[in-house]
Amino acid sequence: MPVKRVDKTPMPVREPGQRAHDFEEVNAGYCFAHAMFEAERCLRCQDPVCVDGCPVRVPIAEFMHAVAANDLPKAAEILRHANPLAAICGRVCPQESQCEMNCHMTKRFGPVAIGHLERYVSDWEMAQPETDEVKEPWREEKIAIIGSGPSGLVCAGELARLGYHVTVYEALHAPGGVLRYGIPEFRLPNKILDWEIKQLERMGVEFVNNVIIGKTVTMDQLFKEYGFAAVFIGTGAGLPKFMGIPGESLNGVYSANEFLTRINLMQAFEFPRSETPLKVGKRVAVIGSGNTAMDAVRSALRLGAEHAMVVYRRSEKEMTARIEEYEHAIEEGVEMHWLTNPVEVLGEDGWVTGLKCVKMELGEPDESGRARPIPIEGSEFVFPVDNVVLSIGTRPNPLLVKSTPGLKTHSWGGLLVDERQVETSVKRVYAGGDAVTGAATVILAAGAGKRAAEAIHHDIQTEAA
């Protein structure tokens, strides 16, 4: 069929000139014709290696068949069974380094747009009329989930499907974790997240906001007073790292976490109607090159920055952001400064005025396997800036560990888990996602949540038998 031998159908996007000034979604989504055409490009491989690239092992070939046959209810069912967060993953997964990287079409024509189709089918599903029917758990055991980010949501969904009473505890006033406070609405609208959470509620999952396990209620209380049979920790990696360079506490310097939380969770872009402020000047430098850095720098543009810059000590090649976010950032006018390392934040009267940097060159590979950036002597210069946003990574929050005796971690803060990669050093306490691995992707966290749910089910049933 000739239709297979063409390039990947591009995602329709809103014009950069328009979208760079608001927080509406950038990607417009495939239309019916796009979706049918793209699904036809799938080669129907005997051995679909794309699945091996998917942390939750969505049966992609069957999914493609269903889409190509325009059997969207079936396609949606296949997706949802494998991935309770399909509408989100279709938007934020780095497909280019997962399923689509393995696609046999990748080399010559570009991969089948698995991610775009995942989104198409999820959007179709969201548009269907729904009932208010709530499924009742049929098993006796109660499971507590700590944290409502991707790993917690998926673990909750899987356990609810298996019939358990599931309660998800969230420290903030709204569920979603990093999906709520971290990823901006132009990439993941809150209404998509709200819909996914509603689906979980319809499956019988209970959400409790404003409770910090380790502070409001201890782990011990969860078992002894509340009678939970097992606990899953999905507390993520929410603690921002700072560089430790002079001037980081000047006004106008933010961690990417704070910058994005003010925008996404607290809706600072509607200030003063929404009461949480954010100071964004004309020139904003974001340090780092991951998805969070791209989210922050593009948010800065949308909040009126005339020069929104990414400053990164390595080169474009070592950048860790999804390619789509990077391309969108460039289209929107973000300035990229590679091989540039900040050494000091300069200020006047307590406020940021500049970012002093040094030029770098690449040397031999370092322990991460990437070329080591080396400062070029005498190359210091200053960017005049009003804001500096640090997006150089996060680590797991020690709050729960500090208050839970016996809960062991690596020296860098990640929770230690057993050979199944799910159970912690405390019996019946499981963990997954960034709290175990350090900052990673939504889909890896989802995969971990799913694995933990299976293990919890297995352990409870084995003990009962």
Partner 1 sequence: MVQIIEKRQLTPITSLYRVDAPLIAKAARAGQFVIVRVREGGERIPLTITEYDRETGLLTIVVQEVGATTRRLGELGVGDHILDMVGPLGEAPEIPSGGHIVGVGGGFGSAALLCLMKELRERGEKTTVIIGAREKSLLILADELAEVTDNLEICTDDGSAGFKGFVTERLQQMIDGSPPGYPDFVISIGPMPMMRAVEKTTAAARVPCTASLDPLMVDGTGMCGGCRVTVGGEVKFACVDGPFFDAHTVDFDEAVARSKMYVKEEQKAADCQRSAHEEEAA
Q: 378-407: which residues touch partner 1 (CB under 8 A)?
A: 397-399
- For 456, phi then psi, to 5°, come to -60, -45
Q: Is 6 in the site for partner 1 (CB under 8 A)?
A: no
Q: Is 70 in the site for partner 1 (CB under 8 A)?
A: no
Q: Which of 183, 372, 151 is nearest to 259 (CA)?
A: 183
Q: Is 412 in the site for partner 1 (CB under 8 A)?
A: no
Q: Is 4 in the site for partner 1 (CB under 8 A)?
A: no
User: Which residues of 164-205 form beta strands (DSSP E)?
Assistant: 165-169
In angstroms, the first-to-last Cα distance of the chain is 54
Which is nearer to partner 1, 11 or 172 (by Cβ)?
172
DSSP 8-state class, residue 407: -
**Residue 185 CB, nearest approach to partner 1 (Å):** 15
Binding test (CB under 8 A) with partner 1, winner from 22, 242, 405, 420: 242
d(CA 439, CA 288): 14
If one counts every other C-beta atom within 10 angstroms of the C-beta of residue 113, the result is: 25
Q: Is 350 in the site for partner 1 (CB under 8 A)?
A: yes
Burial of 363 (0-12, 13-18, 19+ CB in 10 A): exposed
Calculate the alpha carbon distances from 220 to 143, 212, 230, 396, 463 in Å: 14, 13, 11, 21, 20
C-beta separation of 228 from 142 below 8 A:
yes
Q: One symbol per residue from 183 to 202: x for binding partner 1 (CB under 8 A), - otherwise; what is it?
A: --------------------
Q: Which of 22, 68, 334 is nearest to 185 (CA)?
A: 22
Q: 257-296: which residues touch partner 1 (CB under 8 A)?
A: 257-258, 261-262, 265-267, 270-277, 279
Q: Is 249 in the site for partner 1 (CB under 8 A)?
A: yes
Binding test (CB under 8 A) with partner 1, winner from 72, 239, 343, 362: 239
Which is nearer to partner 1, 215 or 427 (by Cβ)?
215
Q: One symbol per residue from 121 to 160: x for binding partner 1 (CB under 8 A), - otherwise; what is it?
A: ----------------------------------------
Only one of the segments 50-58, 106-114, 243-251, 355-363 lies at the binding site for partner 1 (rule: CB under 8 A); that segment is 243-251
**Residue 275 CB, nearest approach to partner 1 (Å):** 4
Calculate the alpha carbon distances from 112 to 12, 261, 419 in Å: 15, 34, 35
Residues in contact with partner 1 by the rule CB under 8 A? 171-173, 181, 209-212, 215-218, 238-240, 242, 244, 248-251, 254-255, 257-258, 261-262, 265-267, 270-277, 279, 349-350, 397-399
